[in-house]
Copies of this chain bind each other. A is one copy, B any other.
Protein backbone atom coordinates (compact mmCIF):
# COMPACT_ATOMS: atom_id res chain seq x y z
CA UNK A 1 0.00 0.00 0.00
CA UNK A 2 1.26 3.46 -0.94
CA UNK A 3 0.39 6.85 0.52
CA UNK A 4 0.56 10.47 -0.61
CA UNK A 5 0.60 13.48 1.71
CA UNK A 6 -1.04 16.82 0.93
CA UNK A 7 -0.18 19.83 3.09
CA UNK A 8 -2.45 22.88 2.90
CA UNK A 9 -1.59 26.40 3.99
CA UNK A 10 -0.57 29.74 2.54
CA UNK A 11 1.89 30.05 5.46
CA UNK A 12 3.69 26.99 4.01
CA UNK A 13 4.10 28.28 0.45
CA UNK A 14 5.24 31.69 1.69
CA UNK A 15 7.87 30.10 3.92
CA UNK A 16 6.45 31.62 7.12
CA UNK A 17 6.02 28.21 8.61
CA UNK A 18 8.00 24.98 8.25
CA UNK A 19 5.92 21.91 7.33
CA UNK A 20 6.81 19.39 10.00
CA UNK A 21 3.58 17.42 9.51
CA UNK A 22 4.59 15.85 6.17
CA UNK A 23 7.90 14.63 7.62
CA UNK A 24 6.23 13.26 10.76
CA UNK A 25 3.54 11.46 8.74
CA UNK A 26 6.19 10.07 6.38
CA UNK A 27 8.11 8.66 9.32
CA UNK A 28 4.96 7.05 10.74
CA UNK A 29 4.17 5.48 7.38
CA UNK A 30 7.73 4.26 6.89
CA UNK A 31 7.67 2.60 10.30
CA UNK A 32 4.39 0.92 9.33
CA UNK A 33 5.88 -0.36 6.09
CA UNK A 34 3.73 2.00 3.94
CA UNK A 35 5.62 3.66 1.09
CA UNK A 36 5.10 7.40 0.67
CA UNK A 37 5.16 8.32 -3.02
CA UNK A 38 5.38 12.04 -2.43
CA UNK A 39 4.22 15.21 -0.69
CA UNK A 40 2.47 18.12 -2.31
CA UNK A 41 2.01 21.50 -0.66
CA UNK A 42 -0.39 24.23 -1.81
CA UNK A 43 -1.78 27.45 -0.35
CA UNK A 44 -5.35 28.05 0.86
CA UNK A 45 -6.83 28.23 -2.62
CA UNK A 46 -9.99 26.20 -3.32
CA UNK A 47 -9.07 25.10 -6.85
CA UNK A 48 -5.45 24.28 -6.06
CA UNK A 49 -6.41 22.26 -3.00
CA UNK A 50 -9.03 20.30 -4.98
CA UNK A 51 -6.48 19.65 -7.76
CA UNK A 52 -3.85 18.49 -5.25
CA UNK A 53 -6.32 16.06 -3.63
CA UNK A 54 -7.30 14.64 -7.07
CA UNK A 55 -3.65 14.25 -8.08
CA UNK A 56 -2.72 12.50 -4.83
CA UNK A 57 -5.77 10.21 -5.01
CA UNK A 58 -4.84 9.23 -8.58
CA UNK A 59 -1.38 8.17 -7.42
CA UNK A 60 -1.91 6.40 -4.09
CA UNK A 61 -4.42 4.26 -2.22
CA UNK A 62 -4.19 6.36 0.91
CA UNK A 63 -4.06 10.16 0.99
CA UNK A 64 -3.58 12.19 4.14
CA UNK A 65 -4.41 15.89 3.89
CA UNK A 66 -3.45 18.28 6.71
CA UNK A 67 -4.58 21.86 7.29
CA UNK A 68 -7.27 24.25 6.16
CA UNK A 69 -10.14 22.97 8.33
CA UNK A 70 -10.25 25.86 10.82
CA UNK A 71 -13.28 28.16 11.28
CA UNK A 72 -12.10 31.19 9.23
CA UNK A 73 -12.87 32.09 5.59
CA UNK A 74 -9.35 31.14 4.42
CA UNK A 75 -9.93 27.53 5.48
CA UNK A 76 -11.00 25.98 2.19
CA UNK A 77 -10.10 22.29 2.55
CA UNK A 78 -13.68 21.15 3.34
CA UNK A 79 -15.03 22.88 0.23
CA UNK A 80 -12.14 21.61 -1.93
CA UNK A 81 -12.68 18.03 -0.79
CA UNK A 82 -16.40 18.35 -1.62
CA UNK A 83 -15.46 19.56 -5.12
CA UNK A 84 -12.88 16.83 -5.59
CA UNK A 85 -15.25 14.00 -4.69
CA UNK A 86 -18.32 15.65 -6.27
CA UNK A 87 -20.48 15.76 -3.14
CA UNK A 88 -22.22 18.73 -1.54
CA UNK A 89 -21.20 20.06 1.87
CA UNK A 90 -23.84 19.52 4.54
CA UNK A 91 -24.15 20.05 8.25
CA UNK A 92 -23.03 16.80 9.88
CA UNK A 93 -24.87 16.22 13.20
CA UNK A 94 -22.11 13.98 14.59
CA UNK A 95 -19.43 16.58 13.85
CA UNK A 96 -21.57 19.36 15.33
CA UNK A 97 -22.23 17.34 18.50
CA UNK A 98 -18.49 16.78 18.88
CA UNK A 99 -17.69 20.49 18.60
CA UNK A 100 -20.52 21.41 21.00
CA UNK A 101 -19.31 18.82 23.52
CA UNK A 102 -15.80 20.27 23.37
CA UNK A 103 -17.02 23.80 24.13
CA UNK A 104 -19.18 22.44 26.96
CA UNK A 105 -16.10 20.73 28.42
CA UNK A 106 -14.09 23.95 28.05
CA UNK A 107 -17.02 25.84 29.69
CA UNK A 108 -16.89 28.41 26.93
CA UNK A 109 -19.67 29.62 24.61
CA UNK A 110 -19.40 28.29 21.07
CA UNK A 111 -18.82 30.84 18.33
CA UNK A 112 -21.16 30.69 15.30
CA UNK A 113 -18.05 30.44 13.09
CA UNK A 114 -17.30 27.05 14.61
CA UNK A 115 -20.54 25.62 13.11
CA UNK A 116 -18.85 25.83 9.73
CA UNK A 117 -16.38 23.19 10.93
CA UNK A 118 -19.28 20.72 11.08
CA UNK A 119 -19.92 21.15 7.33
CA UNK A 120 -18.73 17.83 5.89
CA UNK A 121 -19.11 16.48 2.32
CA UNK A 122 -22.07 14.12 2.08
CA UNK A 123 -21.26 10.47 2.72
CA UNK A 124 -17.98 11.10 4.50
CA UNK A 125 -17.02 9.86 7.95
CA UNK A 126 -16.13 12.14 10.84
CA UNK A 127 -12.94 11.68 12.87
CA UNK A 128 -13.38 13.07 16.40
CA UNK A 129 -10.88 15.69 17.61
CA UNK A 130 -10.40 15.62 21.38
CA UNK A 131 -8.03 18.57 21.44
CA UNK A 132 -9.50 21.13 19.08
CA UNK A 133 -12.60 22.31 17.25
CA UNK A 134 -11.80 20.87 13.81
CA UNK A 135 -13.16 17.35 13.29
CA UNK A 136 -11.27 15.24 10.76
CA UNK A 137 -12.90 13.80 7.65
CA UNK A 138 -12.62 10.39 6.03
CA UNK A 139 -13.67 10.09 2.38
CA UNK A 140 -13.73 7.27 -0.18
CA UNK A 141 -12.72 8.39 -3.63
CA UNK A 142 -12.24 5.98 -6.57
CA UNK A 143 -10.74 3.26 -4.39
CA UNK A 144 -8.58 5.69 -2.42
CA UNK A 145 -9.11 6.51 1.24
CA UNK A 146 -8.69 10.26 1.82
CA UNK A 147 -8.18 11.37 5.41
CA UNK A 148 -8.29 15.07 6.29
CA UNK A 149 -6.64 16.13 9.56
CA UNK A 150 -6.03 19.52 11.21
CA UNK A 151 -2.76 21.37 10.54
CA UNK A 152 -2.01 21.90 14.25
CA UNK A 153 0.66 19.24 14.88
CA UNK A 154 -0.54 18.12 18.32
CA UNK A 155 -4.14 17.66 17.09
CA UNK A 156 -2.99 16.04 13.85
CA UNK A 157 -0.79 13.50 15.63
CA UNK A 158 -3.43 12.50 18.18
CA UNK A 159 -6.02 12.01 15.43
CA UNK A 160 -3.63 10.18 13.11
CA UNK A 161 -2.92 7.61 15.76
CA UNK A 162 -6.60 6.86 16.40
CA UNK A 163 -7.96 7.19 12.87
CA UNK A 164 -5.30 6.12 10.42
CA UNK A 165 -4.15 3.22 12.54
CA UNK A 166 -7.56 1.58 11.99
CA UNK A 167 -7.41 2.17 8.24
CA UNK A 168 -3.91 0.75 8.09
CA UNK A 169 -4.92 -2.36 10.00
CA UNK A 170 -7.98 -2.87 7.73
CA UNK A 171 -5.95 -2.38 4.58
CA UNK A 172 -3.10 -4.60 5.73
CA UNK A 173 -5.50 -7.51 5.16
CA UNK A 174 -4.92 -9.14 8.48
CA UNK A 175 -1.19 -8.47 8.53
CA UNK A 176 -0.06 -6.79 11.70
CA UNK A 177 2.84 -4.41 12.03
CA UNK A 178 4.83 -3.66 15.17
CA UNK A 179 7.57 -1.02 15.33
CA UNK A 180 10.23 -0.03 17.83
CA UNK A 181 13.37 2.05 18.09
CA UNK A 182 16.63 1.92 20.04
CA UNK A 183 18.58 5.18 20.52
CA UNK A 184 22.37 5.08 20.78
CA UNK A 185 25.11 7.57 21.61
CA UNK A 186 28.88 7.32 21.51
CA UNK A 187 28.95 4.91 18.57
CA UNK A 188 29.19 5.64 14.84
CA UNK A 189 26.47 4.75 12.35
CA UNK A 190 28.94 2.59 10.42
CA UNK A 191 29.83 0.66 13.61
CA UNK A 192 26.13 0.07 14.30
CA UNK A 193 25.76 -1.10 10.70
CA UNK A 194 28.65 -3.51 11.17
CA UNK A 195 27.28 -4.95 14.42
CA UNK A 196 23.78 -5.40 12.96
CA UNK A 197 24.68 -6.18 9.32
CA UNK A 198 22.83 -9.52 9.17
CA UNK A 199 19.71 -8.02 10.78
CA UNK A 200 19.76 -5.11 8.31
CA UNK A 201 19.46 -7.21 5.14
CA UNK A 202 16.77 -5.70 2.93
CA UNK A 203 14.62 -8.78 2.39
CA UNK A 204 14.45 -9.69 6.05
CA UNK A 205 11.45 -9.49 8.40
CA UNK A 206 11.71 -7.50 10.66
CA UNK A 207 13.29 -4.67 8.72
CA UNK A 208 16.07 -2.92 10.58
CA UNK A 209 17.43 0.52 9.61
CA UNK A 210 19.52 3.29 11.13
CA UNK A 211 19.31 7.09 11.16
CA UNK A 212 21.95 9.53 12.43
CA UNK A 213 20.78 12.84 13.91
CA UNK A 214 23.08 15.31 15.68
CA UNK A 215 25.36 12.67 17.13
CA UNK A 216 22.70 10.16 18.12
CA UNK A 217 22.07 6.98 16.11
CA UNK A 218 18.59 5.46 16.01
CA UNK A 219 17.98 1.82 15.13
CA UNK A 220 14.46 1.36 13.77
CA UNK A 221 12.82 -2.08 13.71
CA UNK A 222 9.58 -2.82 11.76
CA UNK A 223 8.12 -6.31 12.15
CA UNK A 224 5.25 -7.89 10.19
CA UNK A 225 3.23 -10.85 11.43
CA UNK A 226 -0.08 -12.65 10.81
CA UNK A 227 -1.37 -11.44 14.18
CA UNK A 228 -0.48 -8.51 16.47
CA UNK A 229 1.10 -11.03 18.84
CA UNK A 230 3.25 -12.55 16.12
CA UNK A 231 4.47 -9.12 14.99
CA UNK A 232 5.21 -8.14 18.60
CA UNK A 233 7.17 -11.35 19.19
CA UNK A 234 9.33 -10.77 16.10
CA UNK A 235 9.88 -7.14 17.13
CA UNK A 236 10.80 -8.04 20.70
CA UNK A 237 13.29 -10.68 19.53
CA UNK A 238 15.06 -8.23 17.20
CA UNK A 239 15.10 -5.41 19.73
CA UNK A 240 16.57 -7.78 22.33
CA UNK A 241 19.22 -9.06 19.91
CA UNK A 242 20.18 -5.53 18.81
CA UNK A 243 20.31 -4.44 22.44
CA UNK A 244 22.71 -7.28 23.30
CA UNK A 245 25.00 -6.46 20.39
CA UNK A 246 24.98 -2.70 20.94
CA UNK A 247 25.27 -2.99 24.72
CA UNK A 248 25.62 0.23 26.65
CA UNK A 249 25.67 2.32 23.49
CA UNK A 250 21.86 2.09 23.72
CA UNK A 251 20.51 4.82 25.97
CA UNK A 252 16.80 4.62 25.33
CA UNK A 253 13.86 3.38 23.31
CA UNK A 254 11.31 5.13 21.08
CA UNK A 255 11.12 8.88 21.83
CA UNK A 256 13.30 8.80 24.95
CA UNK A 257 15.98 11.52 25.03
CA UNK A 258 19.49 11.14 26.42
CA UNK A 259 18.68 13.56 29.25
CA UNK A 260 15.50 11.64 30.11
CA UNK A 261 17.53 8.43 30.27
CA UNK A 262 20.12 10.03 32.58
CA UNK A 263 17.33 11.53 34.71
CA UNK A 264 15.74 8.08 35.04
CA UNK A 265 19.01 6.52 36.21
CA UNK A 266 19.67 9.33 38.71
CA UNK A 267 16.16 8.95 40.16
CA UNK A 268 16.41 5.15 40.21
CA UNK A 269 19.63 5.26 42.22
CA UNK A 270 18.70 8.31 44.30
CA UNK A 271 21.80 10.19 43.12
CA UNK A 272 22.36 13.92 42.56
CA UNK A 273 24.49 15.81 40.04
CA UNK A 274 25.84 19.35 39.66
CA UNK A 275 27.42 20.97 36.59
CA UNK A 276 30.38 23.26 35.91
CA UNK A 277 30.37 24.54 32.33
CA UNK A 278 32.67 26.73 30.34
CA UNK A 279 32.23 26.39 26.56
CA UNK A 280 28.67 25.02 26.69
CA UNK A 281 27.60 28.10 28.68
CA UNK A 282 24.62 26.52 30.48
CA UNK A 283 23.47 24.06 27.81
CA UNK A 284 24.28 21.00 29.93
CA UNK A 285 22.32 22.34 32.92
CA UNK A 286 19.44 23.24 30.61
CA UNK A 287 19.38 19.67 29.24
CA UNK A 288 19.34 18.17 32.75
CA UNK A 289 16.44 20.47 33.68
CA UNK A 290 14.47 19.82 30.45
CA UNK A 291 12.85 17.00 32.37
CA UNK A 292 9.95 17.98 34.66
CA UNK A 293 10.79 16.94 38.22
CA UNK A 294 14.54 17.44 37.72
CA UNK A 295 14.78 19.28 41.05
CA UNK A 296 14.99 15.83 42.69
CA UNK A 297 18.49 15.26 41.28
CA UNK A 298 19.69 18.67 40.06
CA UNK A 299 20.18 21.43 42.63
CA UNK A 300 22.70 23.77 41.07
CA UNK A 301 25.02 24.47 38.17
CA UNK A 302 27.90 26.84 37.56
CA UNK A 303 28.60 28.59 34.28
CA UNK A 304 32.25 29.48 34.77
CA UNK A 305 33.10 31.26 31.57
CA UNK A 306 36.02 33.35 32.84
CA UNK A 307 39.21 31.98 34.38
CA UNK A 308 38.53 34.04 37.50
CA UNK A 309 35.13 32.38 38.01
CA UNK A 310 36.69 28.93 37.62
CA UNK A 311 39.05 29.76 40.49
CA UNK A 312 36.57 31.62 42.66
CA UNK A 313 33.58 29.29 42.39
CA UNK A 314 35.25 25.92 41.78
CA UNK A 315 38.67 26.39 43.41
CA UNK A 316 40.66 25.74 40.22
CA UNK A 317 44.17 27.10 40.98
CA UNK A 318 45.09 30.18 38.91
CA UNK A 319 48.55 28.74 38.38
CA UNK A 320 47.07 25.60 36.85
CA UNK A 321 45.01 27.63 34.38
CA UNK A 322 48.08 29.65 33.48
CA UNK A 323 50.31 26.61 33.04
CA UNK A 324 47.89 24.23 31.30
CA UNK A 325 45.39 26.60 29.73
CA UNK A 326 41.67 26.79 30.55
CA UNK A 327 40.98 24.08 27.95
CA UNK A 328 43.01 21.21 29.42
CA UNK A 329 42.65 17.86 31.13
CA UNK A 330 43.90 19.30 34.43
CA UNK A 331 41.36 22.14 34.46
CA UNK A 332 38.44 19.87 33.47
CA UNK A 333 39.40 17.57 36.33
CA UNK A 334 39.75 20.40 38.87
CA UNK A 335 36.44 21.92 37.74
CA UNK A 336 34.59 18.64 38.32
CA UNK A 337 36.19 18.01 41.71
CA UNK A 338 35.62 21.61 42.86
CA UNK A 339 32.03 21.56 41.65
CA UNK A 340 31.25 18.34 43.51
CA UNK A 341 32.79 19.67 46.73
CA UNK A 342 30.99 22.99 46.51
CA UNK A 343 27.62 21.50 45.54
CA UNK A 344 27.80 18.50 47.87
CA UNK A 345 26.38 16.18 45.21
CA UNK A 346 27.09 12.54 44.35
CA UNK A 347 28.35 13.50 40.90
CA UNK A 348 29.68 16.61 39.21
CA UNK A 349 30.15 17.08 35.47
CA UNK A 350 32.51 19.65 33.97
CA UNK A 351 33.02 20.88 30.41
CA UNK A 352 35.75 23.13 29.04
CA UNK A 353 36.49 23.50 25.35
CA UNK A 354 36.80 25.66 22.27
CA UNK A 355 33.40 26.09 20.60
CA UNK A 356 34.73 28.45 17.96
CA UNK A 357 34.54 29.72 15.33
CA UNK A 358 37.44 31.76 16.76
CA UNK A 359 39.77 30.97 19.67
CA UNK A 360 41.33 27.80 18.26
CA UNK A 361 45.12 27.30 18.51
CA UNK A 362 45.96 24.39 16.20
CA UNK A 363 47.56 21.92 16.18
CA UNK A 364 47.36 21.43 19.97
CA UNK A 365 44.12 23.23 20.72
CA UNK A 366 41.93 23.39 17.60
CA UNK A 367 38.31 24.51 17.48
CA UNK A 368 36.20 21.54 18.57
CA UNK A 369 38.56 20.35 21.33
CA UNK A 370 36.49 19.66 24.46
CA UNK A 371 37.47 18.12 27.81
CA UNK A 372 34.77 16.54 29.99
CA UNK A 373 35.23 15.75 33.67
CA UNK A 374 33.16 13.51 35.94
CA UNK A 375 33.80 13.56 39.68
CA UNK A 376 32.26 11.04 42.05
CA UNK A 377 33.08 9.36 45.37
CA UNK A 378 35.40 7.10 43.32
CA UNK A 379 37.54 10.01 42.12
CA UNK A 380 37.53 11.84 38.82
CA UNK A 381 37.73 10.80 35.19
CA UNK A 382 38.43 13.08 32.22
CA UNK A 383 37.55 12.47 28.60
CA UNK A 384 38.99 14.30 25.59
CA UNK A 385 36.73 14.96 22.60
CA UNK A 386 37.67 16.36 19.21
CA UNK A 387 34.37 17.43 17.73
CA UNK A 388 35.82 18.27 14.34
CA UNK A 389 36.29 21.62 12.67
CA UNK A 390 33.48 21.07 10.16
CA UNK A 391 30.96 21.45 12.98
CA UNK A 392 29.43 24.83 13.87
CA UNK A 393 29.73 26.50 17.28
CA UNK A 394 26.23 25.36 18.11
CA UNK A 395 26.96 21.75 17.05
CA UNK A 396 30.19 21.61 19.07
CA UNK A 397 28.28 22.79 22.16
CA UNK A 398 25.53 20.26 21.41
CA UNK A 399 27.95 17.32 21.09
CA UNK A 400 29.93 18.39 24.18
CA UNK A 401 26.86 18.52 26.40
CA UNK A 402 25.56 15.19 25.07
CA UNK A 403 28.95 13.52 25.58
CA UNK A 404 28.96 14.77 29.19
CA UNK A 405 25.50 13.30 29.80
CA UNK A 406 26.71 10.05 28.26
CA UNK A 407 29.75 9.93 30.52
CA UNK A 408 27.47 10.22 33.56
CA UNK A 409 25.13 7.59 32.10
CA UNK A 410 27.95 5.05 31.79
CA UNK A 411 28.98 5.73 35.37
CA UNK A 412 25.40 5.27 36.62
CA UNK A 413 25.13 1.98 34.69
CA UNK A 414 28.12 0.70 36.71
CA UNK A 415 25.92 0.91 39.80
CA UNK A 416 23.85 -1.96 38.40
CA UNK A 417 20.14 -2.36 39.09
CA UNK A 418 20.16 -1.86 42.84
Asked whether, in the complex, the Cβ of B37 is within 8 Å of the Cβ of A13, the reply is yes
Asked whether, in the complex, the Cβ of A302 is within 8 Å of the Cβ of B302, the reply is yes
Binds B, one of A19-27, A62-70, A94-102, A179-187: A19-27
Binds B, one of A197-205, A239-247, A277-285: A277-285
Contacting residue for A305 out of B26, B281, B295, CB 8 A: B295
**Interface members, chain A 307-336 (any B CB < 8 Å):** 308-309, 313
Assuming A38-B40, A38-B48, is B289 touching A299 (CB within 8 A)? Answer: no
Asked whether, in the complex, the Cβ of B309 is within 8 Å of the Cβ of A300, the reply is yes
**A418 in the interface (beta carbon within 8 A):** no
Residue among A281, A288, A356 with max Cβ neighbours from chain B (10 Å) = A281
Asked whether, in the complex, the Cβ of A41 is within 8 Å of the Cβ of B42, the reply is no
Q: Which residues of B contact A16 (CB under 8 A)?
A: 27, 30, 211
**A303 in the interface (beta carbon within 8 A):** yes
Q: Which residues of B contact A300 (CB under 8 A)?
A: 302-306, 309, 313
Main SS class of interface, A: mixed
CA distance A42 to B299 in the complex (A): 49
Q: Which residues of B contact A14 (CB under 8 A)?
A: 26-27, 30, 36
CA distance A29 to B18 in the complex (A): 15
Asked whether, in the complex, the Cβ of A301 is within 8 Å of the Cβ of B292, the reply is no
Q: Which residues of B contact A188 (CB under 8 A)?
A: none
CA distance A343 to B394 in the complex (A): 26
**A223 in the interface (beta carbon within 8 A):** no
Assuming A18-B20, A42-B37, A303-B275, is B288 touching A281 (CB within 8 A)? Answer: yes
**A86 in the interface (beta carbon within 8 A):** no
- Within the complex, the shortest CB–CB distance from A250 to chain B, in Å, comes to 19
**A341 in the interface (beta carbon within 8 A):** no
Q: Which residues of B contact A26 (CB under 8 A)?
A: 12-15
Number of interface residues of A (CB under 8 A): 67
**A39 in the interface (beta carbon within 8 A):** yes
- Within the complex, the shortest CB–CB distance from A20 to chain B, in Å, comes to 6
Asked whether, in the complex, the Cβ of A303 is within 8 Å of the Cβ of B305, the reply is no
In chain B, what residue has the closest Cβ to A288? B281
**A293 in the interface (beta carbon within 8 A):** yes
What are 21 A-B contacts with C-beta separation under 8 Å? Answer: A7-B39, A12-B39, A13-B26, A13-B36, A14-B27, A15-B28, A37-B43, A40-B41, A277-B282, A282-B283, A285-B285, A285-B303, A286-B397, A289-B303, A290-B393, A293-B358, A298-B305, A300-B309, A301-B302, A302-B302, A309-B343
Q: Which 8 A-B pairs have the closest CB atoms?
A: A15-B27, A281-B289, A282-B282, A15-B26, A282-B285, A301-B303, A299-B306, A300-B309
